Amino acid sequence: MRCTGNGARSVRWVVAGKPFRDTFATGALADNYRSKLVIAQREGVAFDEACGLPEPMARALNARPWYDHAIAYVDVKWPRASAKHRTGIAEALATVTPTLLPSSRGAPSEKAIRAALYGWSSTRPAATPETRRPNWRPPCGGWSPTPLTCPP
């Protein structure tokens, strides 16, 4: 644990020869995080080489559903986007999302999924992703894919 100069503390560690570092506002937070890393190492938990975290922590970090990620992206970009850019955002998300579905078993056609995404979910900002979910599912006959996670 090292002091960064402004009172913040950083924790540094190495996984498979690759150095990692995380910074915390206080020494107590940094020490708690370091303790989690040491405990995971002592228990023989595998570390993810890409992010340097123990597998359970890495899974939790990457557990955001794709649909929530896509909606958050639309909400961030929408206010400042021109009409053409908004169309491009909606088309891109409607094209990419069906390819990320884990299985097509019981799913509606790709055209129906694209229509639901393009027609409503990825074209109108809302307060939360949950407010869009009910409107996304009915056009697809009530079918719902398993939660998709964002790639690391």
Q: How far apart are the first and last CA of the chain?
A: 26
Helix, strand or coil, per DSSP, at residue 76: helix
Q: How far apart are CA 1 and CA 22, in angstroms?
A: 10
Rg value, the chain, Cα: 20
Q: What is the pTM of this model?
A: 0.46
Q: What is the mean pLDDT of residues 34-49?
A: 93
Q: What is the pLDDT of residues 52-91, one digit of tens each?
A: 999 998 887 767 677 777 777 888 888 888 888 888 888 8
Angle between the N-to-C axes of helices 66-77 and 83-99, in degrees from 0 to 180, rounded to the nearest 10? 170
Q: Which residue has the higher pLDDT, 85 or 104?
A: 85
State how far the alpha carbon of 25 is from the alpha carbons of 13, 31, 38, 123, in Å.
Answer: 18, 11, 20, 38
